[in-house]
């Protein structure tokens, strides 16, 4: 497998790791540590990166096979050793160059081969050997030429057969130079490919970190929303409980008064009652407003409506008028700010005012007030 193919597999595996994280299992490149108090996985364990020289497709780490290596932690696969290098044991974190006189012609070598007879390689870390007879012949011929030149230096010129030998040596030297240049070029390509793979791996790591940061940000935002909603719900429940307590007190007071009235018997000769109905305050006149001042810390603007009642028979003195809420409907379960006030009582009638906060979401929909009037008995 070449490194370009390995890079594609790394990219694909990284995508799968993000998906599998939602199932509760460890992503590729990590393994499960049992007995942790955290709950990162379904098995109540912690996920940790695999060590250098190992890899994992999820769950457990395996050592890199001979002929491959992995210099980083938390990886999905191992890299094959480049040509001219080897790793002769499992779990390697780097590959060693073949020694002089040895070669590794392909990637993924676990051992280096000895140059075959007639070949040699004077340098370490190469993928091929150079035919040895070239060196041996060249050295022998060069030695002979030097010897002959020394013996014939007084003749003033090199004999033709020596010139021919020198040309042969030059051609062989050209082949040697070509092979060495080819080896150097291959080494340079291997180094560049390795650097490219390292750069791509760094980009993948950066993307994984960015995804992790985004997920953490989303979690924090959801937590803030939940906290805000819980606080709002608690506030609404508290206000609702207070309103229910007020209604219970008013109802109890009305029942006490009705009981006392019934006990009076024939002493009460003039009793009247009725119902006042207030519909949708949103349609009331927007100019009929006042500031609620009975609570020094909460002074909202209230929209009101007055309803006047005329008794069927006048009283000798202003009577006692008692009232209670007979029906009440709000908007979609919203909490409502409202007030009811008996404005004026005379011998001929009275005026009742209903008001609510001058904001649509705090208004009620329907309010019915039951009232009763009896001769004044000095009840509050």
pLDDT score for 4: 38
Task: Of 201-210, 324-333, 365-374, give the lowest mean pLDDT range.
Answer: 324-333
pLDDT score for 360: 78
pLDDT score for 355: 92
Question: Whole-model pTM?
Answer: 0.34
Tell me the pLDDT band of 309, cut-offs 50, 70 and 90. Answer: very high
Please give the structure tokens belonging to residue 213.
């940061």
pLDDT beyond 80 at 260: no
Top-ranked range on mean pLDDT: pick from 2-6, 110-114, 156-160 = 110-114
The distance of Cα 243 from the centroid of its chain, to the nearest Å, equals 42
Instruction: Provide mean pLDDT across the span 244-272.
Output: 79
CA distance 226 to 224: 5
CA distance 12 to 1: 16
CB neighbourhood size of 225 (10 A): 10
Computed over every residue of the chain, the mean pLDDT equals 81
**To which residue do tokens 């499960």 refer?**
32
pLDDT score for 134: 64
pLDDT score for 332: 63
Domains recognised in the chain with CATH numbers:
3-227 (no CATH), 268-374 (2.60.40.2080)
pLDDT digits (tens, 9 = 90+) for 22-81: 445 788 878 877 654 444 444 456 888 899 999 987 668 999 999 999 999 989 899 999
CA distance 207 to 194: 20
């Amino acid at each position: 497998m070449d490194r370009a193919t390995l890079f594609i597999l790394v990219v694909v595996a990284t995508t799968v790791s993000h998906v599998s994280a939602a199932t509760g299992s460890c992503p590729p490149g990590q393994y499960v540590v049992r007995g942790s108090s955290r709950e990162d996985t379904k098995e109540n364990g912690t996920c940790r990166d695999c060590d250098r020289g190992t890899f994992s497709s999820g769950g457990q780490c395996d050592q890199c096979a001979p002929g491959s290596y992995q210099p980083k932690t938390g990886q999905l696969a191992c890299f094959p050793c480049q040509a001219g290098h080897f790793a002769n044991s499992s779990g390697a974190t780097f590959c060693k160059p073949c020694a002089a006189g040895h070669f590794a012609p392909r990637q993924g070598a676990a051992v280096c081969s000895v140059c075959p007879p007639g070949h040699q390689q004077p340098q370490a870390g190469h993928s091929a050997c150079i035919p040895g007879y070239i060196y041996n012949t060249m050295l022998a011929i060069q030695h002979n030429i030097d010897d002959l030149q020394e013996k014939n230096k007084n003749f003033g010129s090199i004999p033709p057969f020596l010139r021919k030998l020198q040309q042969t040596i030059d051609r062989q030297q050209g082949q040697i130079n070509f092979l060495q240049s080819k080896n150097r070029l291959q080494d340079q390509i291997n180094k560049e490919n390795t650097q490219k793979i390292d750069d791509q791996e760094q980009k993948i790591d950066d993307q994984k970190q960015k995804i992790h940061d985004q997920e953490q940000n989303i979690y924090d935002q959801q937590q803030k929303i939940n906290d805000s909603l819980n606080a709002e719900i608690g506030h609404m429940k508290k206000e609702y409980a207070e309103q229910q307590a007020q209604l219970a007190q008013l109802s109890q007071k009305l029942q006490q008064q009705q009981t006392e009235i019934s006990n009076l018997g024939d002493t009460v000769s003039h009793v009247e009652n009725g119902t006042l109905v207030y519909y949708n305050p949103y349609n009331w006149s927007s100019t009929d407003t006042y500031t609620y001042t009975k609570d020094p810390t909460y002074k909202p603007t209230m929209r009101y409506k007055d309803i006047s009642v005329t008794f069927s028979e006048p009283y000798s003195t202003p009577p006692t008028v008692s009232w209670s809420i007979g029906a009440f409907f709000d908007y979609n379960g919203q909490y409502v700010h409202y007030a009811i006030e008996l404005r004026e009582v005379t011998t001929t009638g009275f005026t009742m005012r209903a008001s609510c906060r001058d904001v649509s979401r705090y208004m009620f929909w329907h309010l019915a007030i039951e009232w009763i009037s009896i001769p004044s008995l000095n009840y509050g």
